[in-house]
Chain A
Amino acid sequence: MKCVKKFDAKPKLDGSWKFVDDYTYDNMLYGQLLYSKCHHGYIKKITFPSNYDLSEFTMVSPQDIPGENIVPEPVCDQPYMVDDEVMHYGQVIMGIAHSNRRLLRKFVNETIIEYDELPAITGIKECLENEENHFGEETTVDHTTNEEPNPNWIYNHNVYYTPHQEQAYLETQGVISVYNPKESTMFVLITAQCPFFVKTGVEAILGDTVKEVIIESPQGIGGAFGGKEDFPSLLAGISSLLSYKSGRPVKMVLERSDDIQITTKRHPARIELETWTDPETKKIERCRIDYRIDTGAYQTLSPVVLSRGVLHSIGGYYVPDTFIRGRMFRSNTPSNGAFRGFGAPQAFAAMEAHIDRIAADINVDPYEFRKTNLFRIGDEFPTTQKIVDENLSDCLERVILNSDYQKKNQEFAVWNKTHKDKKGIGIAVAYHGGGYTGNGEKILKSKIKVTIDKDAMVKIFVANTDMGQGAHTTLAQMFYEAIGHPREKCWVQIPNTSKTPNSGPTVASRTIYIIGNLLRKLAFQLKDELGFDNLEEYVKTHQGEFPRVSYKTFTPDPSVVFDADTNVGIAYKDYSWAACVNEIYFNADTCKIELKKSWNVLDVGKLVNEKIAMGQAQGGILQGLGYGLSEFFYKPGYGRMHGFTDYVLPTTLDLPEMNIEFIHTDSDLAKGLGEIPMNFPAPSLRNAFHNATGIFIDEYPLIPERLFKAMEEQK
């Protein structure tokens, strides 16, 4: 039961499972984005190449927009296309379509745009060091005690930087828009996490010109990791406009070099930590955090990322006197957006490094120091939410045991004395709040629909997409296991906004936690209402009652109260917890870190499907390791990487020996799993390097050039 097989394995292997680029429509055009190569300025002149027949092309620019030239969600400050001032490299200037895909590509490549350039902020430090770049609303968490710090306390003050990270989904962003002038509908097939976001986006750009906008997921979505949360709305808006103008279906699939340069990335962050630690008790008594994110040119998702980041920034530690300040800083770069973790990986990057730093300063082992400061039952988050279990501590204890940390730590210290290469072992702990922050779920009011046909076929209608995480397997599993029904007769339908209610976006580790649990509740409710033991039997003997449609709306626990202005209350009702230990080998000749072994312990509550859960953890942890070790996106003086040649993803030969354990799986509650694996691997790598060499690196990734520089400086 727990290891139900996914239904999509074989068709994905034999090539029959279709992704956006595998669909074709009659009379279809291909579309491409013409975007700015200038970071900031005004467009002086656009010169199309001369040896083409311009009448063969359909082109759209802001003048063609019947609705509004503003992407409506999440914060409406980003235009679909440049109106006047180009605010970032990669900003869309026009959408262009033609029937020949390769000819279109050549045409766009040969188009010359002249700009009147203005000064631009393109570097991460350039953006985040200068307070003048701060914009939008600040968010603060005030858990201060109004007491002065004791002069005996040990003061530690450091600034940590985290870089962009590219989601690197294997399937690039893509969409097909099909305008039907007779029915006055716009049908959009798109590889996206949130069909209803896309719907709102297309409706906004088209205004009243169409009666209905329908968004549907293709059979397969080739990875997303957050990167297909908000950008699809912009992409679909432009492809729909092209379809509307040309009267023909338009397929727009981004080439990797465009996708990697212009779509949303993980926010770079600058996190400044000040702590005061009592040298007697070894407890951190006071903490001040200044959390800054580089939003790119527009806010879009940034306030939400900032909010989650700030709420995770204290890490797993109880500090009685805490003040956290979160601010957005803008730059002339493409808007940054969602990526698995959503502000939390940055938070743990800083705090977990800082913990090891303080520990080194006061000469305490990093494990012991964590034990002393990890929060216990009765402690509280800076939001005043009480800690109600010690599962984080359980994760830490378990991983220390599994990895034989203490013995290895001692052994390595001895080995390192007599070898030029070094061995290191590092710890990190982390957590992730499930679902939308605070009142988010209340505002979302997620609604699901389930139909049961006369033949006892159960169809589940949700807006949540399966982008590889197995959502459609596990959601079905949660329902049919609760109601007692054969798996073959229970299927999640392909999300289509005209057929399914809005069960909210596929984000925030909420799919199983909120929607899955809602399905379970509906299953139990139906069972109670109709009073059956076996649904199939009941359907056979009560044919008159079927087909049957049931809806259910998510209502949050009323005891979960959160004030979003003051950040006081219960930010997340349930947290998933984790701890890890990573062992590295540092090659002195090449300054390269080799990943040797990785031990990870997670508490995500009940595992709906063990193999799927393990797959999620394995994939997420490797992404986390990539973040810390090799994924280098932007080099000052050279700009952004252009493709997979230089954006370094781990291959099969770059892996550590991986050990993953789930604990507390006997819980009744299935908690969020999607994002937490991103939060702990990179910090533990950084700590392992410090353990090996005595050197702290304050930036990711830990590429050899950076390590070499740090070691030289130390000499």
Chain B
Amino acid sequence: MKFIKPKDINNLYEIIDNIDRQYLLAGGTDINVQIKNGIIRNPNIIYINHLKELSGIEEENDSILIGSTTSFKDIIDSRIIKRHIPLIHSSLQNFASPLLQTSATIGGNIANGSPTADVIPILLALDAKLEICSKISCREVFLKDFFIGYKKNVMSNNELITKIIVAKNAEQKYQTFYKKVGSRNSLAIAKVAIAGLKKVENEKIMNIKLAVGSLNEYPRRLFKVEEYIMGKTLIEIDFNKVNEYLQQEITPISDLRSDKEYRYHVCVNLIRTFLNE
């Protein structure tokens, strides 16, 4: 195992430009468990938790910028987040555990790329973007375009997530919904997670965003379901159609934790409940 602590952010960019197969260590709550269980072997570890540029929550014009090594505790405690994006504040209350919230980082949760990652469905529903930087330049990628497969994303080896960007008005005038179904009320891995925003006018659903976790190789937006529902009243929604589109957009599996039939039906039930709220 090789361990490197970059002097500063520029040093970090140099290092990842030159090294192969590295793991960026922020809070370590995912990496250390994987190393312990032998899932990650002989890694090149690059420590980034000390780099001030990568953490913190700021307002900039119309956006909220969350540094990728910001801890979940800081996000939950943040007045800026509570004020502008209360969905993030409320849905992360029981994330992992209060002890893990102190160390775990938002960037780590995203970059680790688990299909069950808790923060991703929430950010997807808010149309979040990621700022991804390398030595040479930075670019912005919508979170919905970030993953391309199971634990695969669009970053090159010499890039890292530096910021998470959410529009200040992402939630404005929307009704929000978040439900995580786990095996218990704390310290639980999601079996199904759903985050949603909807705008209803004169009983018509004018706009709807639905994002789900633990139902695919990576958390996703249900664009086809959204498109079908938009513009309709509750009575106009045919749930057979919803099921049809849903089956095109989620591929739940059976694993140690749960069964695919259960996951599927819970997803349908929660969508229905959200629409009825």
Contact = CB atoms under 8 A, between A and B. Distances in A.
Do any beta carbons of A and B sit within 8 angstroms of each other in the complex? Answer: yes
Interface of A: 109, 257, 588-592, 630, 635, 638, 641, 645-646, 648, 650-654, 703-705, 708-709, 712
A650 B185 CA distance: 9
Interface in B166-214: 179, 181, 183-189, 192
Interface in B128-161: none
Interface residues of B, number: 26
A592 B179 CA distance: 13
B277 to A, nearest CB: 12
Nearest to A704: B262
B15 interface: no
Given A590-B181, A635-B256, A638-B255, A653 B186 contact: yes
B261 A589 contact: no
B266 A648 contact: no
A641 B256 CA distance: 8
B21 interface: no
A712 B266 CA distance: 13
A635 B258 CA distance: 10
Contact of B38 (A109, A590, A646): A109
B94 interface: yes
12 contacts: A257-B37, A588-B269, A589-B269, A590-B179, A641-B256, A648-B188, A653-B185, A705-B258, A708-B259, A708-B261, A709-B259, A709-B261
Given A651-B184, A651-B186, A653-B94, A589 B273 contact: yes
B262 A708 contact: yes
Nearest to B272: A589
Contacts, number: 59
A243 B130 CA distance: 57
Contact of B184 (A590, A641, A650, A712): A650
Contacts of A645: 189
Contacts of B224: none
Contact of B266 (A589, A635, A641, A709): A589
B2 interface: no
A684 to B, nearest CB: 20
Contacts of B255: 638
B80 interface: no
A23 B52 CA distance: 41
The 8 A-B pairs with the shortest beta carbon distances in the complex, nearest first, are A653-B185, A589-B269, A651-B186, A648-B183, A705-B262, A638-B256, A708-B262, A705-B259
Contacts of A589: 179, 266, 269-270, 273
B243 to A, nearest CB: 15
Given A109-B38, A638-B256, A590 B186 contact: no
A257 B257 CA distance: 17
A21 to B, nearest CB: 17
B79 interface: no
A635 B183 CA distance: 15
B181 A592 contact: yes
B185 A651 contact: yes
A590 B261 CA distance: 12
Contacts of A705: 258-259, 262
A592 B270 CA distance: 13
Nearest to B181: A590
A651 B266 contact: no
A652 B183 CA distance: 14
Contact of B186 (A652, A708, A709): A652
Contacts of B38: 109
A438 to B, nearest CB: 40
A653 B97 CA distance: 11
A630 B261 contact: no
B194 to A, nearest CB: 10
Contacts of A257: 37
Tell me which of B38, B94, B185, B186 has the highest count of chain A C-beta atoms within 10 A of its own C-beta.
B185
Tell me which of B184, B187, B192, B255 has the highest count of chain A C-beta atoms within 10 A of its own C-beta.
B184
Contact of B269 (A590, A653, A709): A590
Tell me which of B97, B192, B262 has the highest count of chain A C-beta atoms within 10 A of its own C-beta.
B262
A638 B188 CA distance: 19
B87 to A, nearest CB: 19
Contacts of B50: none
Nearest to B186: A651
Contacts of A712: 261
Contacts of B179: 589-590
B265 interface: yes
A391 B42 CA distance: 64
Contact of B257 (A109, A592, A646, A708): A646
A589 B177 CA distance: 14
B270 A646 contact: no
Contacts of B183: 630, 648, 703
B186 A646 contact: no
Contacts of B273: 589
A32 to B, nearest CB: 15
A630 B184 contact: yes
Tell me which of B94, B256, B265 has the highest count of chain A C-beta atoms within 10 A of its own C-beta.
B256
A712 B262 CA distance: 10
Contacts of A654: 184-186
Nearest to A711: B265
Contacts of A630: 183-184
Contacts of A704: 181, 262, 266
A466 to B, nearest CB: 28
A39 to B, nearest CB: 18
Contacts of B189: 645
Tell me which of B97, B261, B269, B270 has the highest count of chain A C-beta atoms within 10 A of its own C-beta.
B269
B178 to A, nearest CB: 13
Interface string B8-21: 00000000000000
Given A109-B38, A653-B184, A708 B256 contact: no
B70 to A, nearest CB: 24
A651 B187 contact: yes
Given A705-B258, A708-B261, A591 B266 contact: yes
